[in-house]
Structure 1
């Protein structure tokens, strides 16, 4: 089965390289967004994995509910306290944030920002309710709200093997690592930076570090989802073309047969009989 990468920065390729030996593993996706577009978990779901998708926006939550039937989909935000918070949505998919600072910067740059009130729970409370004993990877993409998410996590109770966190300021190459001590103090070690995300391994799973030495490459034998969509679209168009050609050939065959009948000797010899039958029918109608 070809590995189709749906993730924006091929995060799923790196994670699959490290975790493909796990059968029916479990993930936690904080800031899940769309179930397939730029999804870090889609490829894993297609291979029998399941997990928890945390997505506060109604539109994306409903999309997840429709297609991620094995997953636990939660319409809420993860933070450092239980209650509610203001979420700032954007006209660009994937840029919703609970950070007022990020929202104000986006508005100042001319972006559309809409505020809505959403429930918030601590991540450790969410896991206590919904997660199994072993979590194979935790992905966090919350546009500047990473610190609050990690503050709500008990890394002594819950030990995701791999933690992937978007580490740059929104729409920027500038690193924002104020949250990193929350991981390193919990015995997680940094192993890879892909230009957008930083990857950390739990100390007890450092054997996996060998898989985080080089970026995704030809030896990972993956196909970008964009390429797969083009292949499927081409295959559909080729199938439609073949059906149209078959219909045209069938029509041409019928026409040739009809022409051969019309020009046959028997058709010519029986013409007077057909004329007479037509005349008799006309007389009966009078």
Structure 2
């Protein structure tokens, strides 16, 4: 696994925000099977319970956001992977592509800082965030200076049109280092993984994704 190669021998603490069923597309499952500590955040009750049945990781049933509270969560029938909080960021999600029924449930919202603290973690080496457009809200509830993750992996469905998350992370000392599909990988500017070759490949991929978005008309711009 490419991420394992970057991390090295480990163990590292892996945090996955937006866990779905804990198996389908899971980034953390591979590391859990190595015996590494993992925490998965998933707001949909049935999916959180599925993770508890299938996995040994810490499972937190909540939506990571900027504040503690309650919020509406939109769940497309048969397409739970694009479920999203019903807030100002919904326009940046893919839920508009869903043609079937969409249910609305109430979920608990929590800051990622509080989730990690209450789980008894003292580190978060790798943090993956797949929350359908709500990535910046997750980051605003997550103190990078406190947890100092080595790698951040965030979904970006804007095809390069929305630079808000990238600018936020650059301000915090992180740089984009790799692009795999819709996932953008970040590390600190001084991390040895951020080689000249990685930067060159990343910039080429970002350009290709941007061109693809323009040609196909895909992507959700900011604002």
So what's the TM-score if we normalise by structure 2? Answer: 0.79
| Structure 1 unaligned blocks of 5 or more | 1-12, 216-286
Show the counterpart of 1:106. 95
1:36 positional shift: 1.3
Q: Do structure 1's residue 79 and structure 2's residue 65 form an aligned pair?
A: yes
Q: Relative to 1, partners in 2 of residues 1:202 and 1:104: Cα closer, same or farther, differing over 3 Å?
A: closer
| Structure 2 unaligned blocks of 5 or more | 203-223
Q: Deviations over 1:55-91 (max 9, x none)?
A: 001121011111222x110110110011111110112
Q: Do structure 1's residue 192 and structure 2's residue 178 form an aligned pair?
A: yes
User: What is the aligned length?
Assistant: 197
So what's the TM-score if we normalise by structure 1? Answer: 0.63
CA contact (8 A) 1:78 1:120 kept: yes
Q: Do structure 1's residue 57 and structure 2's residue 44 form an aligned pair?
A: yes
Q: Relative to 1, partners in 2 of residues 1:212 and 1:67: Cα closer, same or farther, differing over 3 Å?
A: farther
CA contact (8 A) 1:99 1:145 kept: no
Q: Relative to 1, partners in 2 of residues 1:174 and 1:189: Cα closer, same or farther, differing over 3 Å?
A: closer
Question: Which whole-Å CA distance do the structure 1 matches of 2:179 and 2:97 have between them?
Answer: 29
Q: Which has the higher helix share?
A: 1
Show the counterpart of 2:2. 14
Show the counterpart of 1:135. 124
Of structures 1 and 2, the larger Rg is shown by 1
1:103 positional shift: 9.0
Show the counterpart of 2:22. 35
Question: Which whole-Å CA distance do the structure 2 matches of 1:104 and 1:192 have between them?
Answer: 22
- Taking only aligned residues, the RMSD between alpha carbons, in angstroms, comes to 2.4
Q: 184, 187, 195: which one pairs with 1:201?
A: 187
CA contact (8 A) 1:52 1:131 kept: no
Q: Say which SS state the counterpart of residue 157 (structure 1) adopts.
A: helix
Q: Any residues of structure 2 matched to 1:104-183 within 5 Å, and which?
A: 106=95, 110-169=99-158, 173=159, 175-183=161-169
